[in-house]
Amino acid sequence: MEYSNEEGFERFSALSKLEVLCLDDNNFNHSILQSLSSIVSLKELDLSGNNLNGSIHIKEFKAFSNLEDLYLSDNKINDFVTTRDSNILTKLQLLDLSGNDFSARVLESLTAFPLLKTLDLSDNNLEGSFTTKVRHCGLNGTLPDRGKIPLELGRTSSNIRALNLSHNNLSGPIPVTFSNLKQIESLDLSCNNLNGKIPPQLTEMTSLAVFIVAHNNLSGTIPDRKNQFITFDENSYEGNPLLCGPPLHNSCTKMRPPSTISVDFEGEGGSFMDMSVFYISFVVAYITVLLGIVVVLYINPYWHRAWFNLIEVCIDTCYCFFVVHYHKLFNFSLA
């Protein structure tokens, strides 16, 4: 059954000890938060699939000091405004903002939740280079510094257990600072446009159980198969034709860029180089000998006369040879 706005919520005013409330797939707007403010014991609130739109300020959740899980997916929210000194939602561990209309600005707010363990920003309109983000976003282009996954996310959000940034247009490299997420158990960066190498420092994430970077533009050698990385199979890396090394079947030695291939090798390339040297040497030697003969004949009159006598004898010999054999051949054909 669908409810709209505050309809029927007077009855909840007495449920101050309620800890879990699911109001997903209705038509509530922002006023619903004020209507629920008396339920101060809430630990889980699901408002996904409603009509929340525009900006949401963290102060709207001031009454929910015990809230641990907040689901706001599939609404029309475009901004989540936080302040570092608000002391609101300090117990928040799960925040689902997927399927909204967030821009890259929202990434600046992520460090306001010191206990945050699971963050989902999938299916949004984040645009820019990757530096700190989460699953199914529509990121593309190049973010300004304030629009990147802030490097602080890898430095201050050490409690993050699950980070999903799949199915976006995220570009740029995977941040090395992710290696600081020592407690992370799931990292999904698949179906983006991420490029560059997979930082080898990520092998320091020893709690990682799920690691997926499939269908990006990553290149280079896959990090060493040690710690948790020994458990990830080729499905974690598929769709990156320039990645190489185990567990993939692509050999890194066969994927060297053309500029690094030595010209000093055996086979057709080596034969080509040898023949080129031979032809050049032959032409140079031929021209040298010919010029030497011409110079000698020009300087020495005796050799000059002897040379022309030799040429004359050769011409006479060839002429006689031709005439005699032609005559024999003619007589043979008549017979």
For the chain, domains (ranges, CATH) are 9-260 (3.80.10.10), 268-334 (no CATH)
Instruction: Work out the percent of the chain whose per-residue pLDDT is above 90.
Output: 29
User: What is the per-residue pLDDT for 323?
Assistant: 67
Q: How far apart (Å, rounded) are the C-alpha atoms in residues 46 and 20?
A: 8
Name the burial class of residue 92, with classes exposed (0-12), middle (13-18) and buried (19+) by CB atoms within 10 angstroms of its CB.
buried
C-alpha to C-alpha distance for 1 and 22, rounded to whole angstroms? 12
Least confident of 94-108, 172-186, 252-266: 252-266
Mean of pLDDT values over 238-256: 84
The 8-class DSSP code of residue 287 comes to H
Do the Cβ atoms of 199 and 178 come closer than 8 Å? yes
- Give the DSSP H or E segment for 301: helix 301-334
Mean pLDDT calculated for residue range 144-155: 50
Please tell me the distance from the alpha carbon of residue 187 to that of residue 149, in angstroms, as a whole number.
14
* Whole-number pLDDT of residue 150: 52
Residue 81's SS3 state is strand
Residue 61: Cβ-neighbour burial (10 angstroms; 0-12, 13-18, 19+): buried
pLDDT of residue 286: 77
pTM: 0.58
The conformation of residue 63, written as its DSSP 8-state character, comes to: T
Residue 157 has pLDDT above 90, yes or no: no
Question: CA-to-CA distance for 178 and 174, rounded, in angstroms?
Answer: 8
CA–CA dist 147, 190 (Å, integer):
20
Summarised one tens digit per residue, pLDDT across range 57-108 is 989 999 999 999 999 999 999 888 887 767 889 999 999 998 888 876 676 7
Most confident of the ranges 21-25, 104-108, 125-129, 140-144? 21-25
Q: How far is CA 198 from CA 9, 195, 240, 281, in A?
A: 50, 9, 11, 50
- Check pLDDT > 80 for residue 5: no
Mean pLDDT of 260-278: 51
Q: What is the pLDDT of residue 70?
A: 96
Residues in the chain: 335
DSSP assignment of 149-208 = --HHHHHH-TT--EEE--SS--EEPPPGGGGG-TT--EEE--SSEEEEPPPGGGGG-TT-
**CA distance linking residue 37 with residue 31, whole number of Å:** 10
pLDDT digits (tens, 9 = 90+) for 20-58: 999 999 999 988 998 898 898 999 999 999 999 999 998
**One-letter amino acid identity for 96?**
D
CB atoms inside a 10 Å sphere around CB 51: 15
